[in-house]
Amino acid sequence: MRRVLVTGFGAFSTHSSNPTEALIASWPEQMVVQDPWTDASERVEVETRLLSVDESGAAETARRLAEGKRWDAILHLGLCGSCTHARVEWLGRDGLTMREPDNSGRQVNDATITGMGDLKAGVDRERFGLSTCDPDATWSDDAGGYVCNETLHRTLAASASLIRPPPALFLHVPPEDHWPLTRSRSMAECVLTRLLYPPVIDVAAGALFAGNQVLVARRGPDEAAPGRWELPGGKFEPGEELEDAVVREWMEELGIEVTAGVHRGAWWGVQPWRRYRINVIEVHAVNPLPSVLTSEAHDSLRWFGPSDEIDAYDWLGPDRDVMLTLVPSP
pLDDT in tens, 249-283: 999 999 999 999 999 999 998 877 888 899 999 99
pLDDT at 330 over 90: no
Q: Are 173 and 82 in contact (CB under 8 A)?
A: no
The model carries a pTM of 0.83
* 203: region left, alpha or beta (phi > 0 left; psi from -120 to 50 alpha): beta
- Give, in order, the Cα–Cα distances in Å from 129 to each of 34, 137, 143, 181, 223: 14, 11, 20, 21, 27
Q: What is the mean predicted confidence (pLDDT) over 143-155?
A: 97
Q: What is the mean predicted confidence (pLDDT) over 5-10?
A: 97
Question: Mind listing the pLDDT tens digit for each residue in 59-114?
Answer: 999 999 999 999 999 999 999 999 999 999 999 999 999 999 999 999 999 999 99
* 125 membership: H or E segment, kind and range: helix 125-128
More confident residue, 37 or 156: 156
Question: Mind listing the pLDDT tens digit for each residue in 201-246?
Answer: 899 999 999 999 999 999 999 888 899 999 999 999 989 999 999 9
Distance of CA 284 to the CA centre of its chain: 35
pLDDT at 144 over 90: yes
Q: What is the mean predicted confidence (pLDDT) over 283-299?
A: 91
pLDDT at 318 over 80: yes
pLDDT of residue 326: 95
